[in-house]
């Protein structure tokens, strides 16, 4: 150690020694896990380097820096390489730590140690869940009277969000689904920082996914839907996906559809779709179809200048499931908002060539039926007089010569594809 110069990047800013387990704070500064946890245990709630007060004590493992340190240690004889993985904790250690947290719920150090164990590996998270961890963490969540206790609650929420709830005991799951606990989680969803809101949403999503009966218990209010909308707007992919999955689960209930639309979810989805990647776009279009089943949802989509245009553009561009959802949303609008302005907007957006193209390439029976219903509104004045349709009719009627059949068929599909694009 004395003969080798350790790069500054590999030194912990607290101890100035080689980092064994580099973790990054919300300020962007990286420390050795052991040193920064000791800093927190001494009651300090700021970044040692910047002295900035931390809005969360969450530690993010810096895997890239860890690998660089490992490579550097391997290339320098005499340096002890840091371990790639750490052994899981035994159940007695976890139970002892949970007992300490239960007996001293305001002591941050024990909670941070539990978070460290949960961050290590899946086996530890299963052991924490099976040892009654959720019940202990719920007790910590309920102590949110002042700023320090709220920070404790946010730490407990982060650990709770990482646990496999299905591994917990029945009494733990029951207490987690109680109205009091749900109210506390929703409080963090509305009042907490970004990480707390994300963790609260992840817990709610886990409960909704694991228990169909929980949907009847979970009755989100207007403010909760507003915060789901904020998560949708966030640049974090995980936050957007979690919010989408929750909304897809609760929105089939009419009361929830109305609140989602009132919170601006439909407009947010329309803004999100143009740049959304495949998975997000598919979920967003499925949610829009559900929202368009209500008058409020249809009015929101039609009232947005880009609403119908965005839907039309996504036909046959994302996935088969997304196309079915898109046609479903347009069909609900077409059936219930058949005004001249809406029909004109559908036509100007290029919907009819795309629908005709969809019928040519094939789709599900329900989607085909809905596409035909929308196309029939045009009658002979528009899509039936289109050169593509005339050529298709000639092919069907056998009016073209046999040698021209293949060329004409390619021409039809080429023209339809060009119009659809």
pLDDT in tens, the chain (421 residues): 445 688 888 999 999 989 988 999 988 899 998 889 888 877 788 899 998 888 777 788 888 888 888 888 877 766 655 554 455 677 888 889 999 988 887 778 888 888 888 887 778 888 898 888 898 998 888 765 677 778 888 888 999 998 888 777 787 888 888 888 888 899 999 888 888 899 999 999 988 887 777 877 788 889 999 999 999 988 788 889 999 999 999 999 899 999 999 999 999 999 999 999 888 999 999 999 999 999 999 999 999 999 999 999 998 888 889 999 999 999 999 889 878 888 888 888 888 888 888 887 778 888 889 988 888 866 444 545 555 555 555 555 555 444 444 544 455 455 545 444 4
User: What are the beta bridge partners of residue 31?
Assistant: 23
Per the CB < 8 A criterion, the answer to whether 160 and 188 are in contact is: no
Tell me the domains of the chain and their CATH numbers.
8-74 (3.30.40.10), 237-379 (1.25.10.10), 386-421 (no CATH)
Rounded-to-integer distance, Cα 301 and Cα 258, Å: 13
Residue with tokens 């023209």: 415
Q: How far apart are the first and last CA of the chain?
A: 64
Per the CB < 8 A criterion, the answer to whether 374 and 363 are in contact is: no
DSSP 170: H
Residues 6+ apart with CB under 8 A from 97: 110, 113, 114, 117
DSSP 47: -
Rounded-to-integer distance, Cα 210 and Cα 56, Å: 28
Rounded-to-integer distance, Cα 158 and Cα 112, Å: 11
CB atoms inside a 10 Å sphere around CB 271? 16
31 membership: H or E segment, kind and range: strand 30-32
């Amino acid at each position: 150690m004395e003969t080798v110069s350790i790069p500054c990047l590999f030194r912990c800013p607290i101890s100035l020694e080689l980092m064994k387990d580099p973790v990054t704070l919300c300020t962007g500064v990286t420390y050795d896990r052991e040193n920064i946890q000791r800093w927190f245990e001494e009651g300090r709630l700021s970044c040692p380097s910047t002295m900035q007060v931390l809005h969360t004590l969450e530690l993010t493992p810096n895997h890239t820096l860890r690998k660089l340190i490992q490579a550097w240690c391997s290339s320098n004889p005499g340096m002890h390489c840091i371990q790639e993985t750490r052994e899981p904790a035994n159940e007695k250690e976890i139970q002892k730590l949970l007992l300490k947290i239960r007996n001293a719920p305001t002591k941050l150090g024990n909670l941070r140690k539990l978070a460290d164990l949960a961050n290590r590996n899946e086996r530890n998270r299963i052991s924490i869940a099976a040892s009654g961890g959720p019940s202990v963490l719920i007790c910590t969540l309920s102590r949110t009277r002042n700023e320090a206790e709220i920070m404790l609650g946010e730490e407990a929420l982060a650990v709770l969000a990482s646990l496999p709830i299905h591994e917990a005991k029945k009494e733990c799951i029951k207490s987690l689904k109680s109205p009091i606990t749900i109210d506390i989680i929703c409080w963090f969803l509305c009042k907490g920082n970004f990480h707390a809101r994300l963790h609260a949403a992840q817990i709610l999503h886990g409960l909704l996914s694991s228990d169909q009966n929980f949907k009847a218990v979970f009755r989100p209010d207007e403010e909760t839907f507003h915060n789901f909308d904020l998560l949708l707007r966030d640049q974090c992919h995980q936050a957007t996906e979690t919010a989408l999955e929750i909304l897809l689960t609760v929105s089939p209930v009419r009361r929830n559809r109305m609140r989602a639309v009132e919170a601006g979810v439909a407009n947010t989805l329309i803004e999100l779709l143009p740049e959304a990647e495949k998975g997000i776009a598919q979920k967003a279009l499925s949610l829009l179809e559900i929202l368009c089943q209500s008058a409020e949802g249809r009015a929101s989509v039609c009232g947005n200048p880009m609403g119908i245009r965005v839907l039309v553009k996504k036909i046959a561009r994302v996935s088969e499931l997304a196309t079915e959802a898109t046609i479903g949303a347009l069909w609900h609008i077409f059936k219930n908002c058949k005004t001249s302005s809406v029909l004109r907007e559908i036509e100007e957006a290029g919907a009819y060539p795309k629908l005709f193209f969809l019928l040519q390439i094939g789709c599900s029976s329900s989607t085909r039926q809905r596409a035909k219903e929308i196309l029939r509104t045009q009658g002979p004045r528009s899509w039936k007089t289109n050169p593509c349709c005339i050529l298709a009719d000639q092919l069907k009627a056998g009016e073209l010569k046999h040698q021209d059949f293949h060329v004409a068929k390619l021409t039809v599909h080429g023209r339809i594809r060009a119009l659809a694009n």
